[in-house]
Amino acid sequence: MLWSVLLSLLLLLLLQVQLYVCLRELRASTPSTLALLPPVPPPPVHANITATSISTAQRLPGAIIIGVRKGGTRALLEMLNLHPDVEVAKAEVHYFNLDENYRRGLGWYRAQMPFTLPGQLTVEKTPGYFTAPLVPERVWEMNPAVRLLLIVRDPAERLVSDYTQVLHNRLQRHKPYQPLEKLLLLKDDDDDNNDDVDDGGDGVDHGKGRHRRRIDPGYKALQRSLYHVHFQRWLEHFPREQIHVVDGEALVRDPYPELRKAERFLELTPRIKPSNFYFNATKGFYCLVSAGHDKCLDESKGRPHAPLRPRAFRKLCHFLREPNKRFFNLVGQTFTWC
Ligand code: A3P
């Protein structure tokens, strides 16, 4: 009798040990079961409000991408936004260049900014700032220590891209438009019968009776491509070291090195990695990868350019040669533009 009681107790003990081992194995081998559990509920609303009001706020930008229009400003902004210590204003703000916005005051400007934690850098981009005469002084008055970024590309290509954007906008709104060549080239009065005579390929007029169409210096998109004129104005208010010039063509070819330089200029801990970029063959440009999500810029960036005959393009390049040299002298850097 005693033996049978002892035997049953031993069996019971063995069963319990087996059950315990089984349960442990099950827990260790199925971590995904956590995913089946309901998510942890968010903290109560009052706790959220306290945390937000203590830590995050809308702050004036510590850095501004001032231009150039069609230079790659959106790409640069989105790429800087990969950095965990950077928050960007998603839309262009146009505070310093549009009087109706500027009149609204700094409170309005601040309200356009994203919420940031202390120590994070707020960045906005408005390419119209670069060419608007009053902007450098206004920016300086807001904060003379603000860091400025200027992304440039070949000004001839920029002009064609600028025209292409205007053309798309006009087509969308069913508005009339003129071909680029008509806007870019002036026609001399005595030229009516000499429309298609060549200039010898160097963009210079050669003698009587030959083709006399020349670049119209008043064309707005060309004015925006005279970088030295606008850069000079910025230098009247900001020291050269406070303006970081990004090479737009280099950013297209290989974004990472340009981003690394920008991080250094902004005194950010290097956090952007080459793995944040991958070349998308369909788009024909680098796209961004962040937290497992990838993102390409929208179709208005990198679209085919409006046509411009090679001869007219050469004239444009010839016209820009001197302005480009002046710009190189101002920035202390040369670029391989046409
Ligand atoms: P194109 O459309 O002429 O090719 P912005 O943002 O200042 O308007 O500049 C637009 C330009 O950004 C585009 O001009 C394109 O060349 C350039 N760009 C640079 N990096 C890009 C990227 N990763 N994806 C798309 N466009 C990019």
> Residue 126: is its pLDDT beyond 60?
yes
Is position 161 annotated in a ligand binding site? yes
Among 66, 69, 73, 74, name the best residue to mutate to test ligand 1's pocket (greatest count of ligand atoms within 8 A of Cβ).
74
In tens, the pLDDT along 290-311 reads 999 999 999 999 999 999 999 9
The pTM score is 0.82
> Residue 207: is its pLDDT beyond 80?
no
pLDDT of residue 213: 87
Q: Which residues line ligand 1 (CB under 6 A)?
A: 70-75, 127, 161, 251-252, 285-286, 297, 301-303
Write the CB contacts of 160 (distance below 8 Å, at least 6 apart in sequence). Answer: 180, 305, 306, 308, 313
> Residue 173: is its pLDDT beyond 80?
yes
- Run of H or E residues at 240: none
Burial class of 64 by CB neighbour count within 10 A (0 to 12, 13 to 18, 19+): buried
Under the banding of pLDDT at 50, 70 and 90, the label for residue 172 is: very high
Q: Are the beta carbons of 223 and 131 closer than 8 angstroms?
A: yes
113-137 average pLDDT score: 98
Domains in the chain, ordered, with CATH? 51-155+221-302 (3.40.50.300)
In tens, the pLDDT along 272-290 reads 999 999 999 999 999 999 9
pLDDT of residue 24: 33
Is position 304 annotated in a ligand binding site? yes
> Residue 248: is its pLDDT beyond 60?
yes
What residues form DSSP beta bridges with 247? 152
Is position 83 annotated in a ligand binding site? no
H helical segments located in the chain: 2-29, 33-36, 45-55, 73-80, 99-102, 105-111, 135-142, 155-172, 180-184, 220-224, 227-235, 248-253, 255-265, 310-331
Atom of ligand 1 nearest to the CA of 127: 7
* Nearest-angstrom CA–CA distance, 254 and 289: 14
**Among all residues, which ones are annotated catalytic?**
70
